[in-house]
Chains A and B, each alone.
Chain A
Amino acid sequence: AQSVTQPDIHITVSEGASLELRCNYSYGATPYLFWYVQSPGQGLQLLLKYFSGDTLVQGIKGFEAEFKRSQSSFNLRKPSVHWSDAAEYFCAVGAWAAGNKLTFGGGTRVLVKP
């Protein structure tokens, strides 16, 4: 069965500082990997995704993520955080063999200090 762990429930970062959100997954084969962002009371917006190929993936809003197979990780990064980046971030794993269902991590809430 697929599982996703986001070890950090909350992260507080100063505006302009760098941000890294951790995501570890467990799956027998190479899964599809996603990062979504959710603002309060809203749906989820896709930031980026990894299916195959280059392990460093660029997304929207200046985010990037790196797939490391040896560590079963897909960490999300942003070099310089803006106040508008305050939100909940979800890492998700999907697989064709699992009917393309997504398994979500528990989420990481990012707070941005001025």
Chain B
Amino acid sequence: GAVVSQHPSRVICKSGTSVKIECRSLDFQATTMFWYRQFPKQSLMLMATSNEGSKATYEQGVEKDKFLINHASLTLSTLTVTSAHPEDSSFYICSARDMGQQSATQYFGPGTRLLVL
């Protein structure tokens, strides 16, 4: 149980284009999902908290107009990197909080590696 998927697993795009990453909880419902960014050999940095049916909450320093988050259902959140630039290249990981379990446990997706040329 508690499986989270991400799609795509890796994507290469040209500078200036937009890229959408999907995060799905496969066997549980999640009112809250989280989006993280991880640079090589570093820890995870929380970008935003995605809440089903409401606006996402962004961490300080994260541009909400650049990283658009939509949490349209209890099993799906999407992160769109708009007008991507090479500095946006990174490993993006989502997590989902199981509504039915003790509240703080997050289950992580396998990550999406984004390369912007």
Contact = CB atoms under 8 A, between A and B. Distances in A.
A34 B91 CA distance: 21
Interface stretch (A12-20, A44-52, A57-65, A75-83): A44-52
Interface in A88-114: 90, 94-96, 99-102, 104-107
A106 B34 contact: no
Contact of B43 (A94, A99, A104): A104
B108 A43 contact: yes
A28 interface: no
Given A41-B113, A42-B111, A100 B104 contact: yes
B108 A90 contact: no
Contacts of B108: 36, 43-46
A49 B109 contact: no
B111 A41 contact: yes
Interface of A: 32, 34, 36, 41-46, 49, 51, 90, 94-96, 99-102, 104-107
Interface of B: 2, 4, 6, 32, 34, 42-44, 46, 49, 57, 91, 93, 95, 97, 102-111, 113
Given A43-B4, A46-B107, A94-B106, 14 more contacts: A34-B105, A36-B108, A41-B113, A43-B111, A44-B44, A44-B95, A44-B108, A51-B102, A95-B104, A96-B103, A100-B32, A100-B104, A102-B106, A105-B43
16 contacts: A32-B104, A36-B108, A43-B108, A43-B110, A44-B44, A44-B93, A45-B108, A46-B105, A51-B104, A96-B103, A99-B57, A100-B103, A101-B34, A102-B104, A104-B43, A107-B43
